[in-house]
Structure 1
Amino acid sequence: MSVIYVLITISIIVALVFLYAFVKAVKQGQFDDTYTPSVRMLFEDETKKAETNPKTENQ
């Protein structure tokens, strides 16, 4: 039974280490996407294509 307490303690410690690493990475901007916003303007939206193309609406 004491092995369960040891495993639960170790798993909580490991989970806290991963949570700390995740929070630190987010604060440092590790997950910021700097490439997509600059390229997004090059692609047309699908809704704009459907609205501006009258041929697809009449058929």
Structure 2
Amino acid sequence: MTILYLLIPLSLVLLGLAVWAFFWAVSNDQFEDLESPAHRILFDDDLPAPPVRRRPDATEEPPP
């Protein structure tokens, strides 16, 4: 029974922190745009691979 004297205030403090974190996130526009990240993954905007440069071997002729 005496553990309740610790657990009830602790749970109220954690509830207060969760409510504060929610209102902080809302006020800092964390929930402003929920659709763009889901659409962004569909676009293929990878950069093309850079061209591969080979070192000329002794048997190959250098380019003119």
TM-score by length of 2: 0.50
Specify which structure has the bigger relative contact order, considering alpha-carbon pairs within 8 angstroms and separated by 6 or more residues.
Answer: 1
Seq. identity, %: 32
Which residue of structure 1 lines up, in the alignment, with residue 62 of structure 2?
none
Instruction: Say if 2:43 is the partner of 1:12.
Output: no
Find the aligned partners of 2:34 and 2:5 in 1 and give their Cα distance: 45
Tell me the distance in 1 between the aligned counterparts of 2:25 and 2:14. 17
What is residue 24 of structure 1 aligned with on the other side? 24
- Is the partner of 1:32 in helix, strand or coil? coil
Alpha-carbon RMSD:
1.9
The aligned length equals 37
Runs of at least 5 residues in structure 2 that lack an aligned partner in the other structure: 40-64
Task: Give the aligned residue type for 2:18.
Answer: F
1:27-50 superposed Cα distances (whole Å, 9 cap, x missing partner) = 0000001755xx8xxxxxxxxxxx
Runs of 4+ in structure 1 displaced over 2 angstroms? Answer: none
Structure-2 separation of matches of 1:7 and 1:22: 22
Are 2:33 and 1:33 equivalent residues in the alignment? yes
